[in-house]
Structure 1
Amino acid sequence: MKKNRLILAILATIGLVLSCNEDSLELSNPNELSPDTFLTNATQVESAVIAVYSNLQTRGLFSRHMFFMMDNMAHENGGNNQLEADKRQYLDFSFDSSHGAIGAYWESCYRGINKANYVIENKSLIDEIIPSVMSNADKAKAIAESKFLRALFYFFIVTRYGDAPLITTLPPDDGAGFGKSTSAEIYAQIIQDLQDAIPDLLPKGQEENGRATRGAAQALLGKVYLFLERYDDALGMFNALQGYDLEDNYFDNFMEETEFGVESIFEIQYDDDLGFSAQWNSDRSGEGPNEATFRGQEYGFNDWFNVFPSDDLLNEYEPGDIRYEQTFYVNGDTFGPDGSLTVTHFPSNGGGNAGWAKYQNYYKDANEDQTSGINFKYLRYADVLLMMAECESMRPGGDQDVAVGYINQVRERAGLADLPTGMSAAQVFDALVHERKVELAGEQCRFNDIIRWGIAGTELAGTNFQAGKHELLPIPQPEIDSNINLSSADQNPGY
């Protein structure tokens, strides 16, 4: 069993207190229990903060729909014949505002935001807890963790929907919803929350595994600055990171036994020993035991095998890149608890020529099931190094050789020769596009990358991707129907 787990089974009452109305996230005040009688000691505050983390484990996010959404839209995946229609719609960009999983993604984020707001808005009550019951440092850290998580949920929202409701207070008692704010306003709130959180979060090594650390907030803020093309600000955040490095073995990032290693900055936690009875019910609420992800079963070549790595992705790897064999299974590879089984599965019934090894349990099991306990690495140091390379290359007066040096740190672990010095900015950009594609394959990064780089139309040619439309998801129609401050005119372009 994993030690020092954060995401435990949440008390049902906490989930109910902090959840939103099923019909609209905007319409219901969550405080069925008054904070005057609830947030009175450290245990209760801790429960409220943990409830915010729990929304990362919904099926709308990391437990199921998010990896399909991001990996399929990026065409890192192809679909086998049995792939469900709503997941196939990501591949051919045929989804619309009625798409249930897109609605679950939206609502999972906003329920998480609502839970964070519950903690943040009640800061004055938390501060009234006497220091002998809860230290001032712990009170400040509870607010900081909630602000980090609110920023993370809003980053998920703004990158996928653009302009959207910006909610930083508890819902009004009259049930009125919130209208759209601009993406610039949302980004400003994300930046403010992360800046507020950084001083009061603990560094890695002093914090319980799985909680937001100072390094996690710095890395996320650096990523936000990068997305806004504020390259010097991003480098400032990345350079402030301390205590992180690359794992010697790339695959250590994707096994259960080697979680929270030196490369890990922030992980979405799972541990099926702690319970998963709510996994089919926790579409967006985060209530109940949801300590397992469907990722292993869904992507498992010897199990449901709904998707496979696309040929476009497989062909991106250079000869000798050890990440290829640590990311994929091909015919002739061995797997299972003692390596006694041989892969003979390809091509698959959808045409796939390989299966995923990353985040799979086949290094120790013959079969996957619905309860994988492998954590997702949302932020890791290799990603940071490549973002530092991009910032250095893109910033005014940037040194391309310094940028190449960051890329080469990642390449050296992969067993590849260093890129040469003297490369142009255009050559460095091409190297970055390649390196992020192979280093972060299947980690839900590439779609955001090709969108922000403005190359999605080229990279996704022939997939039905429409520039000017599919950079964003549609705002879920139930939200427009139930929120009096949203109308069809607020829908994203093309939907």
Structure 2
Amino acid sequence: MKNISTKYTCIFSLFLVLGLTGCEEALEVELPRNQLSSKTVYTSDPTAEAAVNGIYQSMVADFYYNRIHSVLGQTADELVPTNGLATVYSSNEIQETDGTINTNWGELYKTIYNANNVIEGVTASTTLNVVKSKQWIAEAKFLRAYCFFYLTNLWGDVPLVLTTNVDVSALLPQSTQEAVYAQIVLDLTDASKDLPVDYNNYNNKRIRATKWAAETLLARVNLYLGKWSDAATHASAVINETGNYEITTGLSASNSPFIADNKESILQIPYFNVFYTYEGSSVFSTNGTLLLRKGNALFETGDARKTIWTVDIRNRTGVFLGIAPNKYKNGFGDSPSERSTPLRLAELYLIRAEARVRLNNITGAQEDINVIRNRALLGNTTLTDSNQLLDLIALERQREFFAENGHRWLDLKRTGKLDETLSVLPDKIWKSTDRLYPIPEAALRSNPFLNPTEGY
């Protein structure tokens, strides 16, 4: 970890500079060049605001808008390469030396470092606006929790880095997943109290965290922890915010949850100085480098998600190869503007549906499922059996979130269905320990207190 942590002081200053050049107005702050010293960052509101912006800009990295979709989708039963050639991810043969896994680990910890820097700097300052300070710390805690959520779900026990002090963080041992989740819940609970309740502070752009982003992640975390009542409560808190959020209906290229600042989006990651998305222009472009493994069989007849969110892929001679994800439509120069969307309202309905089944609220669960099905132009469910409803919710989650933020991989893990689902696929060399990614060799070399992931 030391070689990672020690370089972050330079990275953090770089992102402060980048924060001045973004095209998103809500992340633009005029910062004099002579104020870039870390000693003065937290002496004035404009420079502190730029530091907060730096956390978000550290998320404009490959993990957050590419690998979170493509790598996690391949290690699950979701995505396969169009060319038919297995990758280390689609075959689940990832090694500790894999450069992509090392980069993912580093990018998540880089964002955490930037968040810790803001928390420490703002907390120690005696000159900043008190109200703004609370919001900035809340934003940093939310983003730290978001990163730790993915770290612990991908790698299990991980170092719980809560400081910028390299002497402390460089040789931290792994914390248990229970401890990491406890910190996530603490950070999100704190953040929910002090984050804004709308986007007015952000020029009505949905590119920074609100109270409802924290509540959304709390709903997800409680679902993963099996705390059904808490999951339903947090989900309802967001769903009931009808002034801020509503499900996008009439799906089309110009009317989707991925359009910038649409009312289904809860948090989006902006692209600076460009108006296309990497998802639309590269990883899930109409070139179709990755196909949906289940293809057309995933969808019911008439499902609008199949019609609007996929594209047929054929080879040069016109032979049909399969369907590819095409949720993001922005190629280079396309419009309307889209953004990567890590949190959106549809997830809350399916979280609450699952929690309601567990709580034996069958009617409520049906209502939530039908919101998602009706948006996809499908009829209401008539199922009443709890197990059948849970299976339907899992299927609707797969249909709704395919190739999106690693949902399928994480769903299979949290429900204990990885082994039975992946072990039967002939192109996978599956073993139970593959449920966790290997801690990168570089991190193991730099920190002797880290233990290799079991099975690697």
TM tier, smaller = 0.7 to 0.9
- The alpha-carbon distance between structure 1 residues 300 and 346, as it changes in their structure 2 partners (threshold 3 A), is farther
1:354 aligns with 2:355: no
The equivalent residue for 1:473 is 437
Structure 1 segment 96-107 matched on structure 2, within 5 A: 96-107=95-106
Candidates 287, 293, 311, aligned match of 1:329: 311
Candidates 237, 242, 247, aligned match of 1:240: 237
1:295, CA displacement in angstroms?
5.0
1:202, CA displacement in angstroms?
0.7
CA distance in 2, matches of 1:456, 1:400: 27
1:264 aligns with 2:265: yes
CA distance in 2, matches of 1:76, 1:82: 14
Query: Do the aligned partners of 1:468 and 1:493 also contact (CA within 8 Å) in 2?
Result: no
The 3-state SS of whatever aligns with 1:480 is helix
Supply the RMSD in Å over aligned alpha carbons: 3.0
- The alpha-carbon distance between structure 1 residues 42 and 189, as it changes in their structure 2 partners (threshold 3 A), is same
The equivalent residue for 1:71 is 73
The equivalent residue for 2:48 is 45
Query: Do the aligned partners of 1:250 and 1:326 also contact (CA within 8 Å) in 2?
Result: yes
1:135, CA displacement in angstroms?
2.9
The 3-state SS of whatever aligns with 1:56 is coil
1:181, CA displacement in angstroms?
0.5
- The alpha-carbon distance between structure 1 residues 215 and 252, as it changes in their structure 2 partners (threshold 3 A), is farther
Query: Do the aligned partners of 1:119 and 1:146 also contact (CA within 8 Å) in 2?
Result: yes
TM-score scaled by length of structure 1: 0.78
Q: What percent of counterpart residues are identical?
A: 27
The 3-state SS of whatever aligns with 1:90 is coil
Query: Do the aligned partners of 1:251 and 1:326 also contact (CA within 8 Å) in 2?
Result: yes
- Partner deviation per Cα, 1:331-383 (whole Å, 9 max, x = no partner): 7xxxxxxxxxxxx658889x73223321133xxxxx65999963122111111
Structure 1 segment 14-413 matched on structure 2, within 5 A: 14-15=13-14, 35-59=38-62, 61-81=63-83, 88-126=87-125, 128-129=126-127, 134-173=128-167, 176-208=170-202, 209=205, 210-241=207-238, 242-243=241-242, 244-251=245-252, 258-273=259-274, 293=278, 295-302=280-287, 305-310=288-293, 312-330=294-312, 352-361=321-330, 374-395=338-359, 398-413=360-375
CA distance in 1, matches of 2:225, 2:269: 25
Choose between structure 1 and 2: higher helix proportion.
Answer: 2
CA distance in 2, matches of 1:67, 1:178: 29
- The alpha-carbon distance between structure 1 residues 371 and 456, as it changes in their structure 2 partners (threshold 3 A), is farther
CA distance in 2, matches of 1:391, 1:348: 45
- The alpha-carbon distance between structure 1 residues 120 and 411, as it changes in their structure 2 partners (threshold 3 A), is same
The equivalent residue for 2:446 is 482
TM-score scaled by length of structure 2: 0.84
1:122, CA displacement in angstroms?
2.2
Query: Do the aligned partners of 2:235 and 2:352 also contact (CA within 8 Å) in 1?
Result: yes
What residue identity is the alignment partner of 1:40? Answer: T
What residue identity is the alignment partner of 1:479? Answer: A
- The alpha-carbon distance between structure 1 residues 321 and 64, as it changes in their structure 2 partners (threshold 3 A), is closer
1:157, CA displacement in angstroms?
0.2
- Partner deviation per Cα, 1:187-216 (whole Å, 9 max, x = no partner): 000000001111111123434220001100
What residue identity is the alignment partner of 2:292? Answer: P
What residue identity is the alignment partner of 2:286? Answer: F
- Any gaps of 5 or more consecutive residues in structure 2? 1-9, 18-35
**How many matched pairs?**
421
- The alpha-carbon distance between structure 1 residues 454 and 418, as it changes in their structure 2 partners (threshold 3 A), is same
Structure 1 segment 424-443 matched on structure 2, within 5 A: 424-443=385-404
- The alpha-carbon distance between structure 1 residues 446 and 360, as it changes in their structure 2 partners (threshold 3 A), is same
